[in-house]
Amino acid sequence: MNPAGVNEKDKVQPFYVFFLVHAMQTGIGVLSFQRVLAKSTGTDGWISIILAGLIVHLLIWVIYKIFSIVPGDILTVNYQAFGKWMGNFFSLLFILYFLILSLTVMISYIQVIHVWMFEEVPAWSFSLVFLVLIYYINTGGFRTITGIAFLSATMTFGLLFFLFYAMKYSEFTNLLPIFDHSILDIWKGTRNVSLTMIGFELILMFYPFIRDAKSSQKYAHGGALSTTLTTLFIYLVSLVFYSQKQLVMTIWPTLSMTSIVELSFIQRFEYIDVSWWAIVIIPNMTISLWAASRGFKRLFNVQQKYPLWGMSLIILMINIFFFDIDSLNILARIINPYGVIFLVSYLPLLLVIIYIKKKRNRI
């Protein structure tokens, strides 16, 4: 395993981790998580969101604890913990996970574009445009990717102001009753909202690209906290805007809320909203594909552009031959719950293994 050595000029300041984490967590799930969460927990969904946020903070602590023992990235840690063959196997699983994450985000967003804007335009054409843009951003290096994440995070906060428009039509009694669901329902809701909260695990790949990486932990927690509060705010606004039946039946509640915005010079505000979300979504696809291609580069000692080309071609082929709602559901189920369960169980186990090895002076 080659070391994850990174030139100092390619590294970013620790506070940018806030934007990297927030940009990765805030993605396509924000548009639709309310419907699934309302089915399981209703007015108590806010409890599930807070619980999911606490789990994310715990896993971020685990990640930084792992790297305090074995500096580098997840490939280095897997090698140290399990040896060459088993370590490479788990590293391949992470590479596949990052690739599927990027693909899921892209297909989900293209479906939104089809429904809200351009129904007749083939999926592969949107995919091709996104992939060319992603490749261009990736060729600029990790500092360029960080800049895009910074832009995306600031744009996300701007979109939240439009949700205040929906407050004019809100019924606050919709927040009642509270504490009306069982612990099992709350836990089910936590699992359902996990697709909105994932993305923080990309720290496993870009940790070596942070200057004085240990000091960035507080910014990683800050980014996760910002995402949790944003998700909580969106869900509470959705609860008071929709009735329970409406919320369960609305596929993209966030977009539907912002579509009621009326401006004298814009007739269809949702067109701007959907287009604006492209800036929010692009870092999700870019960072995930960067992580997958970098992992492949490190594992097989090739130039990163070659796996990036190959993975982009795979994504394009899937969009050409398999783009439909069924394939999207399959990808979503791979990420949630299986991918989430893998992260929640694997990272603490990995910490225990390397901690024991360190105590025995094997690391």
Degrees to nearest 5, angle at CA 215 with 210 and 217: 90
Would you state the pLDDT for residue 91? 96
pLDDT tens by residue, 297-343: 999 999 999 999 999 999 999 888 877 666 667 777 778 777 888 89
Contact 241, 83 (CB under 8 A): no
CA 227 to each of CA 27, 37, 106, 301: distance values in angstroms, whole numbers, following the listed order: 10, 16, 20, 35
277 pLDDT above the threshold of 90: no
Q: Please report the pLDDT score of residue 363 as a whole number.
A: 65
Which residue from 19, 283, 13, 18 is spatially nearest to 153, judged by alpha carbons? 19
Is the distance from CB of 195 to CB of 32 less than 8 angstroms?
no
- pLDDT per residue as tens digits for the range 99-150: 999 998 998 899 899 888 888 888 889 999 999 999 999 999 999 999 999 9
Half-sphere exposure of residue 303, counting CA atoms within 13 Å on the CB side? 5
Residues with Cβ within 8 Å of residue 29, at least 6 apart in sequence: 193, 195, 196
Q: What is the pLDDT of residues 181-231, one digit of tens each?
A: 899 999 989 988 887 889 999 999 999 999 999 999 999 999 999 999 999
Rounded to the nearest 10°, the torsion over CA 262, 266, 269, 274 is: -160
Region 65-88 average pLDDT = 93
Maximum average pLDDT range among 21-25, 269-273, 323-327, 336-340: 21-25
Q: Say whether pLDDT at 233 is over 90.
A: yes
d(CA 112, CA 129): 16
103 close to 281: Cβ distance less than 8 angstroms: no
